[in-house]
Amino acid sequence: MSQNKTQKQRYIHLDALRGFAVMGILTMNIIAFAMPQNSYFMPNLFGPASASDAAAWIGNFIFFDGKMRGLFSLLFGASMMLIIMRSDAKGESSAKVHYSRMIWLIIFGLLHFTFIWFGDILFLYGVMGCFAYLMHHLDAQRLLKWGLGIFISFTLLLTITLGGLLYQKYSAESSQATSTEIAEYQSFKDEFKPDAEATVAELDAYTKGYYDILTYRISEEWTTPIFSIFIGITETFPFMLIGMALLKNGFLLGRSSANIYKKALVYGLGGGIILNSMIAFIIINSGFDIAIIFNAIQGWSNIPRLMMTIGYAALIILFISANPFNKLLQRTAAAGRMAFSNYIGTSLVMSFIFYGYGLGYYNEISRMGLFPIIIGAWIIMLLWSKPWLERFHYGPLEWLWRCLARRELQAFRR
């Protein structure tokens, strides 16, 4: 079986960006593997945070939280657009190719969620990808306007909505607060205590065997994929549209002028870091108050998140353009070509490290202590991806996905 012609044409910028994204997203996902879900929001869930854990939380908030997920969404939109364009160029039905891919991705996502990890994003990407196709015919400028318009509109809506939580907080803490106001806000805060029912249930389930974890996920977390669609509409979907636009105008392919990338780097990454640092100062000054954190993560940091996502893309593209044959870059690009396999592989490894049916380190390692594990996972991705692709056309899961979507056996071994 001969290699498909389109497989020969790779875009180093897309592959390397995807590699950075799949590696970087673990910096945040590992919290959901290693600790109860509320730990994502609170470094002080189980008592006053140590200086190192507080620093780790703030560092993740400023530099990683949502940015790698955003980059991943941009790249998904861009790759999706590229496949649609290639299908049209070959005279295939791009709708048939695309929706077959998305349906199988949704199935993979549900299997991943059910049997491996509750934090799956494949289901969300498959659903949002179905909607994004409806706008693939738009030119880059209109895609960009739609993406930015949807994202900014929902950001304003979320900020206003979460402002009600701040009002509740300040009303409960004022000298004129009524007993009802105090009780209502205290009830909200009680949900983020270590003895809260949800946290206790998580600790009990994830320190047990596989059957107990599977039962808990099916009975208590089954709404998670459905709820993720709300996040998808507010962030993932518009980021996909922006990624489609940046593929069409050549930005993600390294075809824009160096001046454009430098401006995106300075104003996007630099400006986003400044804004996020200001928000981080407010969080620290509040003593990591949960109402402030909710507003910061879900509302205030949205615009800086988009700025930094574009800025990171510009930074990586500038590096790629200057060092196209860098050995580390080539390995990162290989990891990006196998992003699906690396993503699922990471879930298998991390769930084994932390869950009760594996090594059982759930809620046993500090935030700062998780970084060596993250770095170890990065090293594994970089070490195995390139040698694998020297022997095979695709990563194992990429090959399976392609076979199922195309409904025919694809070339595998080189």
pLDDT tens-digit readout, 374-393: 999 999 999 999 999 999 99
Contacts of residue 398, Cβ cutoff 8 Å, sequence gap at least 6: 337, 338, 340, 341
Predicted confidence at residue 172, as pLDDT, reads 93
CA pair distance 120, 30, nearest whole angstrom:
12
SS (H, E, C) 268-296: HHHHHHHHHHHHHHHHHHCCCCHHHHHHH
Which tokens sit at 26? 């673990």
Band (pLDDT 50/70/90 cuts) for residue 9 is low
3-state secondary structure (DSSP) of residue 121: coil
pLDDT tens-digit readout, 225-245: 999 998 889 999 999 999 999
Predicted confidence at residue 7, as pLDDT, reads 44
Residue 67 and residue 21 in contact, taking contact as beta carbons nearer than 8 Å:
no
Residue 317 and residue 261 in contact, taking contact as beta carbons nearer than 8 Å:
yes
**% of the chain exceeding 70 in pLDDT:** 98
Q: Long-range contacts for 46-54 (Cβ within 8 Å, ≥24 apart)?
A: 46/194, 46/363, 47/194, 49/288, 50/366, 52/366, 52/367, 52/368, 53/366, 53/367, 53/368, 54/284, 54/288
pLDDT tens-digit readout, 307-352: 999 999 999 999 998 988 899 999 999 999 999 999 999 999 999 9
> Can you give the pTM of this predicted structure?
0.94
| Angstrom distances, CA of residue 299 to CA of 66, 68, 85, 293 | 12, 17, 35, 10
Predicted confidence at residue 1, as pLDDT, reads 39
Which tokens sit at 90? 């070959």
Half-sphere exposure of 45 (CA within 13 A, CB side): 24
